Every structure is written in structure tokens, then in C-alpha cells.
């Protein structure tokens, strides 16, 4: 076996190890907006490592030494980052007591990070309401679109789902009332998932459906034709 073949085998082996390790779900919104939230690269890397420990290694409360060992930052920088994230409520530490052993258990909770990202997106979208677009609902009603989806889904929305709604409003320029009408159509059809709602909105867009009244008429014709 030549030296080149050996190197290729070594590379394949390394790639296989990487694939087996899997990946970590880092919210795209975090990568897009962390600067606006006054987070540094060290803060973001600290969050990413917390996600990796929790998601991939099932370690809910890694030590500072464990986190720092995987970063180029110094222990003091990691400590300062964790203190900042806790103080500014991007993360929290939950405590509970194991009833069987009476041992106190601590775990990192990143739910508030997702809430802050969602709130930031809401504020950006609210600021964009002055951009040319079809008549829009009030600022309070606009903010309610996220809570309306959460009520229908009976759970908090994931970062990807929050980004999908933001994309409908900002990128696709769908009217908010049309999005909520598509949500109602999905509920009526018993198919309450984002891919189905996206298909409804795309179908309406292709057929020049621009108002709620037109959407209702289109849906009625579709149901009658089946």
C-alpha cells in the first residue's frame, strides 16, 4: 500500500469518526442576530458548547473546566461569559432534588435564549411595518401571530419554526392575516404542521390570492372540486 493510500485511509477514518459524532442544532437566528443582542463570539461559543453537552452527551451541567477545555478562551473568559449569560438571562440554572437519593441536581436551561431570539425577531418585524406592504394589523396583533401559532400547536415554537414565520413575513411578504388564515385551513384539515401551511401559502401566491376573502373563496372552490 502506497503512502498516498495510507493517507486516504486515515482521512476516511477521520471523516467517519466525525460523522458518527453527529451534529449540534445551533439556531440560525443566534448566528444571525447575536451581535444585536450584545453577545460576543466567546458567548456564542459558550452557548454552542452547552448545547453540545446537553444534546449530544446528555450532560446537563458541565463544569467550567469541561467547557473551557474545548475552547481557545481562558478560564476567566469562560467564567465571565457564563456569568454574563446568566445575569442577562440568556441561560438559567434549574435546581431540583432527586427524591430517591435526596441529591440536589443542577442543569442548564437555554429556553430563555430562544425567547430572547424570538422577541428580537418580533421587534425587527414590528420596525419593518413601515415598509411598503399591503395593509397590516396593529403592532399588538402582529406580535400575537407567534402566540397564535403556539396556541394551535399547543407547545412553544422551535427556533426553526420562529424563523419560518419570520421568513413568511419578511422574505415572502405574505400578509399576516393570510398566514393566520392558512393556519386555520391547516387546523380544519387536521394537518397542523408547518410544511402543510407553507404549501397553502405558496398555492395562494401562485393563484394571486391576496386577501382573506379570496383565500376563503379559493379554499371553498378547492373543497367542492374534490
Whole-number pLDDT of residue 199: 94
Whole-number pLDDT of residue 189: 87
For the record, the C-alpha cell of 54 comes out as 446537553
| Pair type for strands 92-97 and 104-109 | antiparallel
DSSP assignment letter at 207: T
For Cα atoms 142, 147, 150, give the angle at the middle one, nearest 5 degrees: 140
> Would the CATH topology of 9-111 be identical to that of 112-225?
yes
- Half-sphere exposure of residue 76, counting CA atoms within 13 Å on the CB side? 0
Whole-number pLDDT of residue 144: 79
Are residues 207 and 218 in contact, defined by beta-carbon separation less than 8 angstroms? yes
Domain ranges of the chain: 9-111, 112-225
d(CA 34, CA 45): 11
What fold is seen in the domain 112-225? Answer: Arc Repressor Mutant, subunit A (1.10.10)
Burial of 85 (0-12, 13-18, 19+ CB in 10 A): buried
Options 1.10.10.10, 3.40.50.300, 1.20.1260.10, 2.40.10.10; CATH of 9-111: 1.10.10.10
Are residues 45 and 73 in contact, defined by beta-carbon separation less than 8 angstroms? yes
For the record, the C-alpha cell of 53 comes out as 453537552
Whole-number pLDDT of residue 72: 93
Mean pLDDT of each 10-residue bin along the chain, 226 residues long: 69 57 80 93 96 90 94 94 96 88 90 90 76 47 77 88 91 92 91 93 92 90 76
Whole-number pLDDT of residue 130: 57
Full DSSP string of 104-158: EEEEEE-HHHHHHHHHHHHHHHHHGGGSS-S----HHHHHHHHHHHHHHHTSPPP
Whole-number pLDDT of residue 221: 85
Amino acid at each position: 500500500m502506497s503512502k498516498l493510500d495510507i493517507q486516504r485511509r486515515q482521512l476516511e477514518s477521520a471523516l467517519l469518526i466525525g460523522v458518527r459524532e453527529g451534529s449540534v442544532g445551533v439556531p440560525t437566528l443566534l448566528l444571525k442576530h447575536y451581535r444585536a443582542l450584545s453577545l460576543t463570539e466567546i458567548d456564542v461559543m459558550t452557548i454552542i458548547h452547552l448545547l453540545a453537552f446537553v444534546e449530544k452527551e446528555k450532560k446537563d451541567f458541565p463544569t467550567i473546566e469541561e467547557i473551557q477545555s474545548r475552547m481557545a478562551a481562558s478560564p476567566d473568559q469562560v467564567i465571565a461569559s457564563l456569568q454574563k449569560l446568566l445575569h442577562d438571562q440568556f441561560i438559567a440554572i434549574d435546581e431540583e432534588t432527586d427524591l430517591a437519593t435526596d441529591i440536589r441536581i443542577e442543569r442548564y436551561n437555554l429556553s430563555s435564549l430562544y425567547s430572547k431570539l424570538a422577541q428580537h425577531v418580533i421587534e425587527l418585524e414590528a420596525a419593518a411595518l413601515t415598509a411598503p406592504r399591503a395593509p397590516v394589523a396593529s403592532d399588538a396583533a402582529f406580535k400575537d401571530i407567534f402566540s397564535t401559532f403556539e396556541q394551535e400547536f399547543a407547545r412553544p415554537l422551535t427556533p426553526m419554526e420562529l424563523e419560518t414565520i419570520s421568513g413568511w413575513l419578511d422574505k415572502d411578504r405574505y400578509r399576516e392575516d393570510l398566514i393566520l388564515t392558512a393556519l386555520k385551513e391547516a387546523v380544519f384539515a387536521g394537518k397542523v404542521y408547518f410544511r402543510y401551511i407553507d404549501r397553502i401559502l405558496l398555492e395562494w401566491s401562485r393563484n394571486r390570492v391576496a386577501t382573506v376573502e379570496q383565500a376563503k373563496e379559493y379554499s371553498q372552490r378547492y373543497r367542492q372540486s374534490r
